[in-house]
Amino acid sequence: MIHREGYPTIGLTLLFSAAIIGAANYFTESAALVLLADVVSVLLLIIVLQFFRNPARNTVVNDRHIIAPADGKVVVIEEVEEPEYFKDKRIQVSVFMSPINVHVNRFPIGGLVKYVKYHPGLYLVAWHPKSSTENERSTVVVEHSNGKAILFRQIAGALARRIVYYCKEGDKAAQGGEFGFIKFGSRVDLFLPLGTKINVQLNQVVRGGETVIASFSED
């Protein structure tokens, strides 16, 4: 399945590919150059299609679990000060998405959307320490029915130039449900309450909507 965010890009890619093939056939009689144009056009289309793929995911809904908001690799697990919303110490878990990962973003928990804010910014590489506070980004806070809230942040990278999110304050979030999309290489940060049990390790590969990132404490 192809994500709806990909339709305009796929359309432009098809037009560009057709132009390349048409130009090669019109301006040259070299079979090798025509073949090269065909191969480049097909590869370009395949790359774009794989980037915008939207595979079905089997989310096992669990009130104690915090699931991965995106596909990728865990690049940060540390205690930090969260300055935007909570303004206190939280456990940050960051998932880096390479261009070959699925870029659909999913709600890590169910609950009420309490806060949504878009921030324009820079395009530092997504693993840069300052990308979380200086890059183009969106911040979403969801409060669980247990009263605990988590913050997750879409962050643009050096290649990502468009962040898309579909939720607004007051919406009901469904665990594993789609809340956004980031185009071309990026990351998602989670800010969890202190005492949350972390179930992943640095450099672990996770799947959005399926991998259990952490678990709420029972108190």
CB 114 within 8 A of CB 219: no
Q: Which among 41, 186, 215, 217 is annotated as catalytic?
A: 186
Q: Which two tokens mark 178?
A: 């789609």
Q: Is 132 a catalytic residue?
A: no
Maximum C-alpha span of the chain: 74
Residue-wise over 26-43: b if at least 16 C-beta within 10 A, else e? eeeeeeeeeeebeeebee
Distance of alpha carbon 109 from alpha carbon 209, whole angstroms: 10
What's the first-to-final CA gap in the chain, in angstroms?
41
DSSP classification of residue 199: -
Active site residues: 186
